[in-house]
């Protein structure tokens, strides 16, 4: 049976993540996502995704030390990034820099050590490139800070506030894995040929770069910028809905009920009310929008998705719009590498068939007269 885009086709078995769109559940290695975001750090959940169980304190400390050791760029990698043209977008820079990592250290089979190396390196590549574009001195990685806090530290050149770290860390936990999405599938297809982890990650980055997959939540940013203040929200949102306009940040292709990631992220942000104006505005706008959608579009099942709050967080931490998708990639590196390792453990090369729909023509031989 032909299914365009393989929609609904089961292409792999996995123990990493379960996305239940009908019931609105997201499960990492057996744990509901709301439990993980409440109780564990990004590093702890990365460990869970890679190993299949939550770490002891000693294992968590060891992972932190491994991430720290792998944060620093070699001079050769800096030289490669420096040589890239300024107009090259950040995802393409990241893809190129990661490809430059493709040495014999990444030969088949993929390992967790390789996964840790690429996960640690990704935020440093982004921060280094950003500093060069901004003509600023690069802030070298910290040897003490956690993964998310260190990323913000390198980008802004100063230690971030606890509020911004908590907000971004929650977002990154919620986006580090999401089943067999387009980029994870790309990674698994490449790995299934017994290519190296770097090649599989480069394929995933190339897929994430596409606007239909990893596109930045710029539409939500535009909406919040247009509303500006809480008192303008109801009138402006109602006008848009009456005029048939789509409210960006509401509805999801997979989740037919509440996006569990949005619920978990909102729960964390509610703890921060009064600490950031953009986060406060986003929470207010969401409440108004859900009321209006229920009133004006009854039965449509349009709920807030994670991109709505992702946009608010990116705006709140003063992240440039061209860093939205790269930041998504910083977190998703964990999920990609886990899929690559899982693929290698029971590998069969992906080899789907295509259905030919072209013509079958009879060839004629037209020779010149003798």
Catalytic residue flag (residue 258)? no
Report whether 132 contacts 81 (CB < 8 A): yes
Alpha-carbon Rg for the chain, nearest whole angstrom, is 22
- For 312, residues 6+ apart whose C-beta sits below 8 A from its C-beta are 220, 224, 269, 278, 279, 281, 282
CA pair distance 128, 198, nearest whole angstrom: 20
Active-site residue identified among 43, 149, 169, 307: 307
List, as one string, the DSSP characters of 171-235: HHHHHS--SS-HHHHHHHHHHHTT--HHHHHHHHHHHHTSTTTS---HHHHHHHHHH-SGGGHHH
CA pair distance 258, 250, nearest whole angstrom: 10
The phi-psi region of residue 190 (left if phi > 0; otherwise alpha if psi is between -120 and 50; otherwise beta) is alpha
User: 80: which 2 tokens?
Assistant: 């490669």
Instruction: Give the dihedral of Cα atoms 159, 215, 170, 71; nearest 10 deg.
Output: -50
User: 192: which 2 tokens?
Assistant: 């299934």
SS3 category, 49: helix
Catalytic residue flag (residue 252)? yes
H helix runs in 85-196, sequence order:
90-99, 112-133, 147-156, 162-175, 182-192
- Angle between helix 324-345 and 306-316 (nearest 10): 130
Active-site residue identified among 64, 147, 252, 258: 252
Active site residues: 252, 307
């Amino acid at each position: 049976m032909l299914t365009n885009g393989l929609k609904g086709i089961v292409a792999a078995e996995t123990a990493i993540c379960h996305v239940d769109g009908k019931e609105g559940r997201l499960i990492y290695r057996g744990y509901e996502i709301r439990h993980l975001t409440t109780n564990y750090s990004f590093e702890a959940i990365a460990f869970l995704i890679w190993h299949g169980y939550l770490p002891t304190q000693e294992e968590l400390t060891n992972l932190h030390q491994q991430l720290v050791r792998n944060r620093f760029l070699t001079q050769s990698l800096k030289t490669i990034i420096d040589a890239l043209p300024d107009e090259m977008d950040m995802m393409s820079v990241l893809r190129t820099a990661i490809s430059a990592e493709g040495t014999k250290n990444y030969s088949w089979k993929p390992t967790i050590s390789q996964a840790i190396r690429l996960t640690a390196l990704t935020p440093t590549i982004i921060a280094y490139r950003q500093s060069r574009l901004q003509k600023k001195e690069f802030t070298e990685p910290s040897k003490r800070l956690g993964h998310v806090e260190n990323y913000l530290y390198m980008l802004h050149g100063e230690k971030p506030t606890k509020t911004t770290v908590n907000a971004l860390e929650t977002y990154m936990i919620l986006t580090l894995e999401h089943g067999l999405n387009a980029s994870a599938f790309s990674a698994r297809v490449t790995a299934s040929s017994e290519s190296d982890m770097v090649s599989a990650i480069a394929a995933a980055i190339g897929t994430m770069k596409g606007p239909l997959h990893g596109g930045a939540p710029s539409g939500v940013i535009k909406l919040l910028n247009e509303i500006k203040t809480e008192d303008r929200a109801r009138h402006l949102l109602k006008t848009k809905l009456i005029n048939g306009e789509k409210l960006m940040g509401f509805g999801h292709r997979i989740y037919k009920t509440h996006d569990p990631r949005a619920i978990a992220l909102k729960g964390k942000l509610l703890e921060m009310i009064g600490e950031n104006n953009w986060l406060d505005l986003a929470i207010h706008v969401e409440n108004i929008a859900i009321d209006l959608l229920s009133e004006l579009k009854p039965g449509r099942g349009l709920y807030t998705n994670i991109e709505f709050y992702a946009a608010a967080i990116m705006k709140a931490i003063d992240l440039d719009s061209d860093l939205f998708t790269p930041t998504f990639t910083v977190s998703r590196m964990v999920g990609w590498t886990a899929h690559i390792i899982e693929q290698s453990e029971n590998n069969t090369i992906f080899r789907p068939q295509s259905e030919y729909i072209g013509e079958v023509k009879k060839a004629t031989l037209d020779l010149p007269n003798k």
